[in-house]
Each structure stands twice: as C-alpha cells, then as structure tokens.
Amino acid sequence: MADEITLSVDLDLVNGNVEHDFRPNAILIDQANDRYVDRIQDIGTSEETVSFGDLTAKGLVVLYNLDSSNYVNWGHTTGNLDCKILAGEYSVFRMDNSGALIMQANTATCKVRVILYDN
C-alpha cells in the first residue's frame, strides 16, 4: 500500500492591515509499519525523555499541549530544549529514527498528548 497518512496545513494570519495565508497541497506519506502511539503524558518541570515503547521506526510526531495556562519546552538534546508549545498549541514534525524527544514543563506539570506514527 501507499499514502496511508495525509498531512494538511491551513495557516491564516489576519492582523489589522496584514493578511497572509499558507495552504500547500496535502502531503501523502507512506507507512510501512501499521503501528502508532497515541497517549496523554504528564510532563513535569524537570527534563524527561519521552518513550515510544516498541516503535523503532519513528515517523511523524504530534505534540499537543492540553494545559490551559502553562507551556512546554521540547528538543532533542538534554539542556537544549529550544522549541516551545504554548498552552493549547500543537507541533507536528518528522522524527529521526536515532533521535530522542526531551520535554520539560515551564511552571507546573502539563498534560501533553503525544502521537507517533511508525514509518
């Protein structure tokens, strides 16, 4: 089979007289292994490495911060969490198979929905 995953982006900006939109064509992605992880994880105020269990061929990752007021930093190297997800925001990216995902809540523990589609 092919094109098991569809990724779409619809981004709009309207701020006073400034308007911009970004709507590229959907990306169709092949998935060889029909497995995924979808769970809600408590992310504390100390760095923690997210485990993906038995999934060994990492693919697309979705992080969704379910907290109503606190943000979460994330990155791939301990001590260098240079990405941020504000309360209610999400991030989508492709994970390198050898990479790690490290997260840390800013002020208080946050619930983060973590989804990984195996390649």
CA 106 to chain centre: 17
Rounded to two decimals, what is the model's pTM? 0.91
CB 81 within 8 A of CB 49: no
CB atoms within 10 A of CB 81: 16
The answer to the question of residue 22 being in a domain is no
- Find out whether 42 and 114 touch, Cβ atoms under 8 Å: no
The tens digit of pLDDT for each residue in 43-79 reads 999 999 999 888 878 999 999 999 999 999 999 999 9
Does 90 reside within a domain?
A: yes
pLDDT at residue 90 greater than cutoff 80 = yes
Q: Which domain holds residue 100?
A: 33-118
Residue 1 has pLDDT above 90, yes or no: no
Q: Which amino acid is at 105?
A: A
The answer to the question of residue 12 being in a domain is: no
pLDDT at 98: 82
In a domain, 3, yes or no: no
- The reported pLDDT for the residue numbered 21 is 97
Domain membership flag for residue 55: yes
Residue 15 confidence class, pLDDT cut points 50, 70, 90: very high
In a domain, 11, yes or no: no
Write the CB contacts of 2 (distance below 8 Å, at least 6 apart in sequence): 28, 30
Q: Which pLDDT band, with edges at 50, 70 and 90, does 35 fall under?
A: very high
CATH number for the domain spanning 80: value is 2.60.120.10
Q: Any residues with CB less than 8 A from the CB of 106 and at least 6 apart, and which? A: 45, 70, 71, 72, 73
User: How many domains is the chain partitioned into structurally?
Assistant: 1
Decide if 17 is inside a domain.
no
Whole-Å CA distances, 65 to 18, 93, 94: 28, 15, 18
Give the chain's mean pLDDT.
Answer: 94
